[in-house]
Amino acid sequence: MIRKSAPSAEDLRNCAERAKALGDPTRLALAIALHEGGELCVCDLSWIVERSDKVVSHHVRALRSSGLVTSRREGKMVMYAITEAGAALIAAVATSALASA
């Protein structure tokens, strides 16, 4: 019974990649900031996590490629937001960080 209802290898791989994306403290901080702040640009995220724009762009790209963050262009700026899957994973992983925020 359990074997028949087990997730596929591809589903497990996707879940592992998403969890791995939050394994870096900077990416986790960015994901939490997006979870708490809604839609933010790189300059806002840089200020919040106290990292350079370049570093933040690199990490947000990793979050986006793993499906935890979406982006949209607004003029010259790119705005980022947490996805539903990202919010669920953050809620599961960062409960103590969210409670103290």
Q: What is the pLDDT of residue 56?
A: 96
How far, in Å, CA of 84 to CA of 55, rounded? 24
Q: State which H helix or E strand residue 81 sits in.
A: strand 77-82
Q: Tokens at residue 89, please?
A: 């994973």
Could you tell me the domains of the chain? 9-100 (1.10.10.10)
pLDDT per residue as tens, the chain (101 positions): 787 888 888 878 887 888 888 889 999 999 999 999 999 999 999 999 999 999 999 999 999 999 999 999 999 999 999 999 999 888 888 766 665 55
Threshold 0.75, pTM exceeds: yes
Q: What is the pLDDT of residue 36?
A: 92
Q: Is the dihedral of CA 32, 35, 41, 47 positive or negative?
A: negative
Q: What is the pLDDT of residue 86?
A: 92
